Structure 1
């Protein structure tokens, strides 16, 4: 018999819990991102210290050291390899997560997707407008309008781990969904607005290996005799060719990572699901790529990108008063939460969707402030917006670092103030009075019965073993 709750536990509306399988999957992802987020903070701090030390010249010499094959447009500096190459690994995971969310996750339902997607869009538009308003009188700096639109989920999760927040499943799912949709919007912005000197021939040629990659990925069980591990060794070189051609074509190479992620199937094919099907290709790739991305690719990028010479207190004051810096700081710290919370509030007024009664608007504000931690993608867009060796680029990075720290600090204060309530919700979500392995709050009347039969593997590539390959 289900144990009654002392608080309303609505599962519909804004910040509803969603399904148990989705809660498990999101929790597993965020636990993996925590270590990467802490490494990200450490490497960024090391870069800032080194770049402002007496040995600063050696840092910039290392960052600007070039190698590669020039005829393929691949003679790049270490910093460029990190931004164009290593971040493509990160965006490959973004593509996988986006596809999983909209094909196998809770966001396959338009009714569940509309609020977080709309909130993410609001969280991109408002910061951009804030930046443009502050820099309107300076056309040369308007190119950086997209810098304050990004969210760094790894850094945000690291903040949660450090402050010890017992953030409820609903808030965690909402935060990750915001970040994933935000990444999609960011990569779209990069592809459309930050692609220069396009070369049609390499881009057309890239379609050939991309098509081959897609076919092999979709039919990997036939081609590789039900051994996904074999697919890894075949698809990786093909993916590199796609990346190299997209890079040569003038589109930022991280776009190739997203496209390759989209091509990987996230569900088992009909007839191969079940306990004997083995891991799916998306699961295999995620297990192998996520540690590489969170533990190496993103921290190394942060190390080469975050190293900016501040110039002491005088230099910091000069940077912080620059309209570029002000636009970024206000865009991330104020524009992000205003866009996210404002759009969500507007939806509650225009539709029948209401805030889950177990939570408060302050909770949404705290999550929206975490979304104001731009960092990784914001640093990338700063490098694409301004000349890397110019003072404007340095000031933009000071803005990104300052805004991310401010957003993290304010969010930590708000979320810690609510930790007692979060612990109560967390305890409620663990109650399993009928001992069937599924918490009782996920078995309330009206929830999907298919999601309450068994507790799925949070890392599985299909929460319900649905047929079909997508």
Structure 2
């Protein structure tokens, strides 16, 4: 009895924290937490705009190290590095163990994802052409929010074939890789080659230690932090360091090894990413005033209309059209479990931009708060529209599939009786 009393203050805390971590590994829970953070940000920004903006503008960090950033910058450049590290590990997992390890299977989502990045840019440019500042926002509608999209799929269409989720996941992984490449190449204002070279050397050292089977988080954590700092100092967006470190993490299990370093890292970091990193970023990025003026701007500003059209229309046309064209040309094969109507429904999910679209919007128009807020409103509206439309289509497909299975079962039972 005494033993129970001694551990009582601690045991429930550990137990519940583990249960919370397990819950946050589920796509639906992470999506709900992110959505809740967004709603709180919108409510706060519209109830007390000054206090919300004051919070976002709060600056801390050592100025001597050029790290005196405000909270929004810390979320973009610091916290999101963890999100992109997990994304980098997922990309490598897909290349080693997943759909991307088989070129024949990988061709469909890869080609669909590439088209799903190119077509939204064309749609955006067609709508926004000639508008002031339009050339800076072309990359905003290229990204799909993997967490939000998978959460909507899990909630609305959990009964759909696993091949549909695999297609969406692989598309989103390739999409993330494309988005981080765009950030690295097109959103670098200045370049400190010395800092970038030193950061790349540390990332290579991280990879070498992984290859040599060196163990211990306290060896890798200082290397990762210093690599992040040097990439941040170089002028390249610091989240690139997260993806690079994720790609360097070993994903193959050694003989007798229960979990690879990649499995251990994602097991520990996914709850942190889903439960803290992405919600904090969403909270600090999504707070915009939804007054009559801002809403009218959304419908009159062709840059914002281009973002909305690029996400809602361009993403669907790109992903679905790219998949259809790849199959028609014989470059890929559609799974026997899936129908083109399933592909149309899941392609609509690609229009959920959110996390990465908000990040790119902030990078593109960071010096223009009015345009940044307008683009943020457009991303939120497009993501909501894509979520609702996809949910309706996916639920319809679930019902149609269930009805078809019932009809098949009924015909078989009649055949058995006859």
Shift of 1:315: 2.6
Structure 1 counterpart of 2:243? 258
Deviations 1:108-144 (A, max 9, x none): 1111111100000000000011111122212522110
* TM-superposed deviation, 1:32: 2.1
Q: Name which of 269, 294, 299 aligns with 1:289.
A: 269
1:168/1:425 contact within 8 Å kept = no
Kindly indicate whether residue 176 of structure 2 is the aligned counterpart of residue 176 of structure 1. no
Query: Which of 58, 65, 72 is the equivalent residue of 1:65?
Result: 58
User: CA–CA distance in 1 between the matches of 2:198 and 2:94?
Assistant: 30
Q: Distance in 1 between matches of 2:236 and 2:90?
A: 22
Decide which of 187, 192, 209 is 1:199's aligned counterpart: 192
- 2:287 is aligned, of 288, 299, 307, to 307
Q: 1:46 aligns with which of 8, 25, 40?
A: 40
Q: Partner of 1:445 in structure 2? A: none
Given the alignment, which residue of 367, 370, 378 partners 1:391? 370
The question of 1:410 aligning with 2:395 is answered no
What's the counterpart of residue 109 of structure 1? 102
Q: Aligned partners of 1:30 and 1:365: how far apart in 2?
A: 29
Given that residues 135 and 141 in structure 1 are in contact (C-alpha distance below 8 angstroms), is that contact kept between their aligned partners in structure 2?
Answer: yes
Question: In the alignment, does 2:169 pair up with 1:190?
Answer: no
SS of the equivalent of 2:288 reads coil
Question: Aligned-pair distance for 1:182?
Answer: 0.3
Counterpart of 1:34?
28
Contact 1:320 1:395 in 2 (8 A): no
Q: Which runs of 5+ in 2 are unaligned?
A: 1-21, 407-418
What is the TM-score normalised by the length of structure 2?
A: 0.88
Question: How many pairs are equivalent?
Answer: 385
CA contact 1:33–1:157 (8 Å) conserved in 2: yes
Output one character per residue of 1:391-414: Cα deviation in whole Å (capped at 9) or x when no partner.
Answer: 111111111000000000111111
**Structure 2: distance between partners of 1:114 and 1:124:** 15
TM-score (norm 1): 0.78
Deviates more, 1:253-262 or 1:194-203: 194-203
CA distance in 2, matches of 1:114, 1:183: 17
Task: Name the SS of the counterpart of 2:26 in structure 1.
Answer: helix
State the 1:420 CA deviation: 2.5
CA deviations on 1:282-314 (whole Å, 9 max, x unpaired) are 11101111111111101100000001122x234
- Return the offset for 1:352: 6.8
| 1:100 matched residue in structure 2 | 93
Q: Which runs of 5+ in 1 are unaligned?
A: 1-27, 225-230, 428-470
Higher helix content, 1 or 2: 2
In structure 1, the partner of 2:234 is 249
- C-alpha spacing 1:392/1:380, structure 2 compared with 1 (3 Å): same
Q: Give the 3-state SS of the residue equivalent to 1:293 in structure 2.
A: helix
Query: Does structure 1 conserve the Cα–Cα contact (< 8 Å) formed by 2:116 and 2:319?
Result: yes
* TM superposition shift of 1:345: 1.2
Distance in 2 between residues matched to 1:187 and 1:249, nearest whole Å:
16
| CA contact 2:108–2:327 (8 Å) conserved in 1 | no
- Distance (whole Å) between structure 2 residues aligned to residue 106 and residue 316 of structure 1: 42
Closer, same or farther: CA 191–266 of 1 in aligned 2, 3 Å: same
Cα displacement string for residues 155-174 of structure 1 (whole angstroms, at most 9, x for unaligned residues): 11232344364232010000
- Distance in 1 separating the partners of 2:368 and 2:160: 41
Shift of 1:31: 6.1
Aligned to 1:328: 307
Q: Alpha carbons of 1:130 and 1:267: their partners in 2 closer, same or farther (altered >3 Å)?
A: same
Structure-2 separation of matches of 1:199 and 1:173: 39
- Equivalent residue for 1:219? 212
Contact 2:42/2:289 (CA < 8 Å) preserved in 1? yes
Say if 1:40 and 1:299, in contact at 8 Å, map to a contact too. yes
Shift of 1:423: 5.0
Residue in structure 2 matching 1:367, options 336, 346, 357: 346
Aligned residue in 2 for 1:431: none
Which residue in the other structure is 2:78 paired with? Answer: 85
Structure 2 SS opposite 1:284: helix
- Partner-residue secondary structure (3-state), 1:52: helix
Does the CA-based 8 Å contact 2:228-2:241 persist in structure 1? Answer: yes
1:141 to 134, 137, 146: 134
Aligned mates of 2:392, 2:369 — CA distance in 1:
35
The alpha-carbon distance between structure 1 residues 423 and 72, as it changes in their structure 2 partners (threshold 3 A), is: farther
CA offsets 1:360-381 (integer angstroms, 9 cap, x no match): 2221111111111000000000
Instruction: Give the distance between the partners of 1:29 and 1:184, measured in 2 at CA.
Output: 26
Residues 152 and 179, structure 1, Cα contact 8 Å, conserved in 2: yes
